[in-house]
Every structure is written in C-alpha cells, then in structure tokens.
Amino acid sequence: MAYGDYSGPDKPNKGKEGGACNRQRCQAEPAVFWNHGSHSWYCADCARQIGTDPVNARCWPQDFAVMFPGKALHPMFETRGQMSARQQDPTA
C-alpha cells in the first residue's frame, strides 16, 4: 500500500525494522530503510520519495555536516546491510 492510500489505525509494528513504514499515511511492509533523522524505519518507496525531495536532498548534507563535523557523510536512509558495511569500513 503506497503512501496516501491509508487513513486507518496504525499497525503495532509501525516504524520498526521489517514492520510497517513509519510515514504517517503509509502502512507498507517491510520497512527496510532506517532514517537517521527520525530514527525510524521506512518502506523503499517512501524512503526514495522523502530522500529525493529537493529540500531534504539539499538540507541533509548541510545539517549533518553541522551536527557531526569531521565525520563522513552517510545517506539519510540506509538499509541494515549498508549501515553494517559502513561501520566495518573505518574510512566511511
């Protein structure tokens, strides 16, 4: 179920890894993308839509660089595998 197609009660697994997407009007499963800003999990479609929004795409690198100076920039959304690979690579 894509974003905007749902207006009922939230699933109990909303925003959890593998559960329902954290976006307010989305209940799609599985939520496989972690958002480093909201600290919640999102489905692939919503992660792509949110991450490619012009404001988010411009502001995430700026905001992250200010909050964490000297650290390598990572994407706003990452899968568990991407985060694990980045943590194992000391240059990331």
Q: Domains of the chain: which residue ranges?
A: 1-83
Task: Give 49 or 67, the one with higher predicted confidence.
Answer: 49
Q: At residue 9, does pLDDT exceed 80?
A: yes
Residue 45, Cβ neighbours under 10 Å: how many?
Answer: 16
Q: Is the pLDDT of residue 41 over 70?
A: yes
Say if strands 33-35 and 77-78 run parallel, antiparallel, or are unpaired.
Answer: antiparallel
Does residue 71 have a pLDDT over 90? no
Identity of the amino acid at 79: T
- Could you tell me which residues come within 8 angstroms of residue 4 by beta carbon, excluding any fewer than 6 positions away? 25, 26
- Which CA distances in Å does 12 have to 33, 59, 65, 68, 73? 18, 31, 34, 33, 32
Strand, helix or coil for residue 55: helix
Is the pLDDT score of 89 beyond 90? no
pLDDT at 67 over 90: no
User: Looking at residue 28, what is its pLDDT?
Assistant: 92
